[in-house]
Structure 1
Amino acid sequence: MDPRSILLRNASFPSLQGLHDVALHAGRIAAIRPARGTAPGRGTDEVHDLDGRFVLPGLWDNHVHFTQWVIRQQRLDLTGTGSAADVLALVAAAIPTGTAGEPLVGFGFRDALWPDSPTCAGLDAASGTTPVVLISADLHCLWVNTAAVRTLGITGADGGLVREAECFRTLEKLEDPDTISFEAYRRAAEAAARRGVVGIVDFENADNLQLWPERVRHGVDALRVEVSVWPDRLAGAIELGAKTGDVLDECGLITMGPLKVIVDGSLNTRTAWCWDPYPGLPAGRKHSCGQNTVPMHELRMLMAAARDAGIGAAIHAIGDRANTEVLDIFEELGMTGVIEHAQLVRETDFARFEELGLAASVQPEHAMDDRDVADMFWPGRTERAFALASLHRAGANLRLGSDAPVAPLDPWFALASAVSRSRDGREPWHPEQCVPAEVALAASARGRSGVRVGEAADLAVTEMNPLTTPGEQLRTMPVSATLLGGRFTWSGL
């Protein structure tokens, strides 16, 4: 919170006519009045003329893996590859001849539609004795070579591919937050602030209750952060007495969030748990309908323990069967919370979100990344895939996010995909699932549909009106300033 008084003059609001002056005091919005060109009141410390720029609630990314987002730039970029051969060529070029060296880690491959298959033998031929771990764009699958299997103690590598639980265990070995500088975290947080972001929900599988307050003490203070706890750390959080909503740091930026549990896999990895089988899976592939990664009785016990301790629940469910099963448990426990992703939902389950008071935390950019994969592996079901409009009409509380690093930590990408269902000049995909701009904006701002007196001065200032800007132009929305508790975390004014 900034104790000073600040006046933002000549501000526009997306839904109001005329210019207004916005007075901020002690980190909150003190007054909003029509702009009349009068002198600022006594005691005003700063005056900024917005010259008609638009003031809107600060934006949140409601699903981030922040450490993985920070270190993505250090990894071999595989996002532009279209085949196993493409990846192998990049790996071979990245490994110095005749050296073993440190493990080479790559990120971003999507193999669901490749014309060839990733194999351990192929990766061994390209990499030699250097351990190589390649992370799929959805974070649910690794492509590893023999050297990595031996060095990292990886088990269950099926022809070079490691999925779900073993994938996550291996990622933990590769991602020690203590080896990443506070400066790297600070730069990533400030980059988010430059895009109007004031807060994130961090789903990194780490000791977030300790790590984030320490980061704030070292200057990583451009964002509010709601931290999650995974099942293996739930008992520790309960022992500490941490409850959802509790403030965890002296600056008031870090709050306790929910228990995070991953119930199924992903679409690209073809492990999302569905009612119907995936077509065209290789012969002998187990789990033809995808798989649940946590037994339902275990999920029920975890959620009940969290509920009884005052901790909310955010449950990853992508396939339609996963969503049904999770909805059933929320109903059985009489517990509200969040379903993360909700990518494929049965028609009869949409209304249950409102009935049970659940939020749907969705990532609209994933629909653009996965539209062709969904057409291939969810045939006849895509009218209810990434179904934002159906969720909204049913009364679900929508929250937009990125799942960074799966998609960029930039809420304007999510907004653009939510309102247009299009990218890269392609025709909209199931345009009936577009949502109005005002719905998408509120879903990116923790439900705030406008700027009101008395609220925290968490604000974004944009050059254009987000309610009237075409979808594709939203992706590059110029953000002129961001304020967090009345403090500028970014200003290009």
Structure 2
Amino acid sequence: MPSLLIRGARLVSLRPEDGPAAGPAAGADPVDVLVEDGRVTAVDRSLPRPAGVEEVDAAGRWLAPGLWDQHVHMAQWTLASQRLDLGGARTPEDVTRAVAERVAEQPDLPVIGWGHRSGGWDREVTVSELDAVSGHTPVVLISGDGHHAWLNTTALLHLAMPVRDSVVRETEWFAVYPRLVTLVGNDGTSPEAYRRSLEAAAALGVVGIVDYEFGRGPLEWVERWNDGADLLRVRAASYVETLDEVLAAGLRTGDPLPGGGPRLTMGSLKIISDGSLNTRTAWCCEPYGDAHRLEYPAGQPNLSGDELREHLARAHAAGLEVATHAIGDAAVAEALASYAATGARGSIEHAQMVGRDDVRRMADLGIRASVQPAHLLDDRDITERIWGERSARCFAFRWMLDDGVELALGSDAPVSPLDPWLAIAAAVHRSADDRDPWHGEQGITAQEALAASVDGQPTVGVGSRGDLVLLDADPLADHLTSADAGAALRDMSVALTVVDGSVVHQDL
């Protein structure tokens, strides 16, 4: 593996006990850092340069462990730039107008849209109104939370789905999503396209991702890895539908995937136990504020408790961790009960609304909270509208850290951009506009947010991974307000990203 000597870097301390950086191990003065065979082997001043080792002058910049995005849907993120962007749509009419314009411009191409958030709309949409503006052009519009899609009749027929006049939701949508390739081909998810997405992530300091894409997951990654999508570290998750293949291959969480490399490893079994806020399918202990509109006033689980425990027990017996999607507080409570009953290990993905006692139980069970802070920027207003005072229990990062829950930050890209600095800034400031932080009592410090973004790595030191990010500014600099801190974090500039001792991005 490549070796690298970084000269004159200030170490960013992730240890709360350090306080202001002091000394060679805490970053007050620039030090040299030597990486050999994928590990940091020396940290000191004026290190000798071993023969043949590449040298980089940090010129007093700030060095931290490389960043991870702990929740990505990589194919969807890679495809996002090619899709009709509906993130700005405020009404169904905004959407149908955009679709009509796209069909007029490109009548022979399917329309795949992404990003509308119907949770704030005042009515349900219909297939008929989409048919009226699209004719025979297939149209698939994926919601911004990924939990439903609005299709026209042509697309429903093409994807061999029952014709209806309503959107396709939850489990039915997740099952059909992999068939989109029959409409649009797979050029957008080629190894070359993946490589470009990984390069963009590296430019933000990302050294690793956890991929929760639908489909065959780890079994598909080996081929694209060997075709050039091997830039970063990747943990590839499986779903219940492909669990038999994973078990037949004897894969356990953390194992290198056969035919790949040591940086391509088996991730968790992903289980989607409830829905989402915007679709009103997140499973809650109390009804939604607009429950009169809903078939299920408090949302609903996607699996029974027995089914959830069966999946967890099976994965645990095979050496797989489990990543359980749970957004509503009832879903979180049921997931934790299932972890306790089976002894399974892993994470709650999202944990968007939690009960106070359930946070403590998460800590007691040693279950990670894999959270996406940028979602609070998008969900703030709709949460206040339909969850009301329960918003005080949403994105409860302060509770989690204070109670000893391990926090892991991600994006859920493309639901939010694959940008760790946006996630860190949202965790610190909890606002995307001029309003005060939303439930600022749940905010965390920049140091805490950064520590939750580096896959458990300590402050750079002897023995830590050779996965590093060199920053043009101090991410832990003092600011007068959390707004100032958030702005500085969102604008963070990355000079160098190193994975396993190899430079994968450089802007020095």
Identity of aligned residues (%): 44
CA contact (8 A) 1:388 1:434 kept: yes
Of residues 180, 184, 199, the one that matches 1:174 is 180
CA distance in 1, matches of 2:137, 2:80: 20
Contact 1:223-1:253 within 8 A present in 2 as well:
yes
Please name the residue that 1:152 is paired with.
159
Residues 1:105 and 2:112 aligned together: yes
2:344 to 335, 357, 369: 335
Structure 1 window deviating more from structure 2 (165-174 vs 476-485): it is: 165-174
Match of 2:494? 479
Deviation readout 1:120-148 (Å, 9 max, x if unpaired): 22212211221211000000011122222
1:135 matched to which residue of 2?
A: 142
For the structure 1 residues 178 and 84, does the alpha-carbon distance in structure 2 shift closer, same or farther, using more than 3 Å as the test? closer
Q: Tell me the secondary structure at the aligned position of residue 463 of structure 2.
A: coil
Matches within 5 A, 1:85-484: 85-96=93-104, 99=107, 101-155=108-162, 157=164, 159-175=165-181, 179=187, 180-248=189-257, 249-281=259-291, 283=293, 285-468=294-477, 470-484=485-499
Q: TM-score, normalised by structure 1?
A: 0.95
CA distance in 2, matches of 1:92, 1:116: 20
Which one of 28, 34, 45 corresponds to residue 17 of structure 1? 28
Q: Which amino acid aligns with 1:195?
A: L
2:270 aligned counterpart, secondary structure: strand
Task: Give the deviation of 1:154 after TM superposition.
Answer: 2.3
Which amino acid in 1 is paired with 2:179? Answer: K
SS at match of 2:435: coil
Between 1:18-27 and 1:48-57, the stretch displaced more is: 18-27
Q: CA deviation at 1:24?
A: 1.6
Alpha-carbon separation, structure 1, partners of 2:168 and 2:50: 64
Q: Distance in 2 between matches of 1:20 and 1:361?
A: 33
Per-residue deviation, 1:153: 2.3
Is contact 2:471-2:493 (8 Å) kept?
A: yes
1:98, distance to aligned residue in structure 2 (A): 10
Contact 1:304 1:333 survives alignment (8 Å): yes
Alpha-carbon shift at residue 425 of structure 1 (Å):
2.9
TM-superposed CA distance for 1:44, in Å, is 4.6
User: In the alignment, is the contact (CA less than 8 A) between 1:58 and 1:198 conserved in 2?
Assistant: yes
Q: 2:498 and 2:32 mapped to 1: Cα distance? A: 16
| CA positional deviation for 1:156 | 7.3
CA distance in 1, matches of 2:49, 2:101: 63
2:21 match: none
RMSD: 1.7
**Structure 1 gaps, min length 5:** none
In 2, Cα distance between the equivalents of 1:394 and 1:483?
A: 33
Counterpart residue type for residue 64 of structure 1 = V
* Further displaced range: 388-397 or 354-363: 388-397
Following TM superposition, by how much is the alpha carbon of 1:448 offset from its aligned partner in structure 2, in angstroms? 2.1
Query: Given the alignment, which residue of 87, 90, 107 partners 1:82?
Result: 90
Say if 1:83 and 1:116, in contact at 8 Å, map to a contact too. no
How far apart in 1 are the matches of 2:273 and 2:470? 38
1:29-68 to 2 correspondences below 5 Å: 29-34=40-45, 36=46, 40-68=48-76
3-state SS in 2 of match to 1:381 = helix
Give the letter aligned to residue 50 of structure 1: A
Distance, in Å, in 1 between the alignment partners of 2:413 and 2:503 is 24
**How many residue pairs are counted as aligned between the two chains?**
485
1:59, 1:87 → 2: CA distance? Answer: 36
Q: 1:145·1:160 contact (CA, 8 Å) conserved in 2?
A: no
Structure 1 residues 72 and 383: alpha-carbon distance in aligned structure 2, compared to 1, 3 A threshold: same
> Segments of 4+ in structure 1 off by > 3 A?
175-179
Q: Distance in 2 between matches of 1:354 and 1:175?
A: 41
Alignment partner of 1:380: what SS? Answer: helix
Match of 1:27 in 2: 38
